Amino acid sequence: MIQFEQVSKIYPGGQKALTEVNFHLKQGEMAFLTGHSGAGKSTLLKLITVIERASAGRVVINGHDIAKIKAAHVPYLRRNIGMIFQNHHLLMDKSVFDNVALPLVIEGFSHGEIRKRVAGALDMVGLYGKERHSPVMLSGGEQQRVGIARAIVNKPPLLLADEPTGNLDPKLSMDILRLFETFNDAGTSVLIATHDLGLIARMKYRTLTLKQGRMLGAQELDSVHAALGGE
């Protein structure tokens, strides 16, 4: 689903963000992406969504070599990726319905189909019946769920989440992670960038760790854990 081969990213101005990164997220896999602040997590997600392009190496998404995709085709690639942000990027002056419907409106679905799909997505995230609410009337956890409903409403095969639980308490964070698990159980590939090591420890998924732009291998992780006293 996602393949990075010797991928490096140097921003204009010379800032090295990623150095020779290799990893493969298989179709249907769920994994965490972690690392210190500035390690390159957001840059890695931006390369997947083609907000940024690699300086060297190969990025392959869903069988497509990103370097070969023309700018005009990037929106089509992005339709296959549901993106979830820490601050959910909701339109606060629009209803919950309008927020979740947005990707379907852009894709030109009929009104009837949009109503059906939005109701289904809100049902999945536990917000059925809140269509007419304004996001400002909702709690932080509920707002995050609206962002998740919007990300999954067109049933993308890949979900990317950038610090999706950053503003939530441990119980709500766990609820959001369980929600990702239900999408993953239905076959969606999921990659979650997070600082929350406690949350990662409570789940059984593979963890990709970046350190100063490099992806650590299993051996390097063992020595980090040993240095931390076997935590």
Ligand X SMILES: Nc1ncnc2c1ncn2[C@@H]1O[C@H](COP(=O)(O)OP(=O)(O)OP(=O)(O)O)[C@@H](O)[C@H]1O
Cβ-proximal residues to 171 (8 Å cutoff; 6+ apart), any chain: none
Site string for ligand X, 13-32 (x = CB under 6 A): x-x-x---------------
Quote the least distance from Cβ 15 to ligand X, whole Å: 4
For the chain, the straight-line distance linking the first and the last C-alpha, in angstroms and rounded, comes to 31
Backbone angles phi, psi at 83, to 5 degrees: -115, 130
Nearest to 143 by CA among 119, 122, 115, 113: 122
29 vs 41, 60, 152, 205, CA distance in Å? Answer: 18, 16, 16, 9
Q: Which residue, 15 or 87, has its beta carbon nearer to ligand X?
A: 15
Considering only residues 2, 7, 19, 35, which one is a binding residue for ligand X as defined by CB under 6 A?
A: 35
Position among 38, 140, 170, 217 found at the interface with ligand X (CB under 6 A): 38
Cα angle 61, 29, 214; round to 5 = 65
Q: Is 40 in the site for ligand X (CB under 6 A)?
A: yes
Among 37, 68, 72, 108, binds ligand X (CB under 6 A): 37
Give the nearer residue to ligand X in terms of CB position, either 43 or 188: 43
C-beta of 3 vs 42, nearer to ligand X: 42
Positive/negative CA dihedral, 198, 199, 203, 209: negative
Nearer to ligand X by C-beta: 1 or 45? 45
d(CA 131, CA 144): 15
| # residues near ligand X by CB under 6 A | 12
Question: Applying CB under 6 A, does 41 fall inside the site for ligand X?
Answer: yes
Taking CB under 6 A as the binding criterion, the range among 12-20, 68-76, 112-120, 222-230 that sits at the site for ligand X is 12-20
Question: Which one of 6, 11, 186, 202 is in contact with ligand X (CB under 6 A)?
Answer: 11
Of the candidates 4, 124, 109, 126, the residue with the CA atom closest to the CA atom of residue 54:
4
One of 3, 8, 42, 154 touching ligand X (CB under 6 A): 42
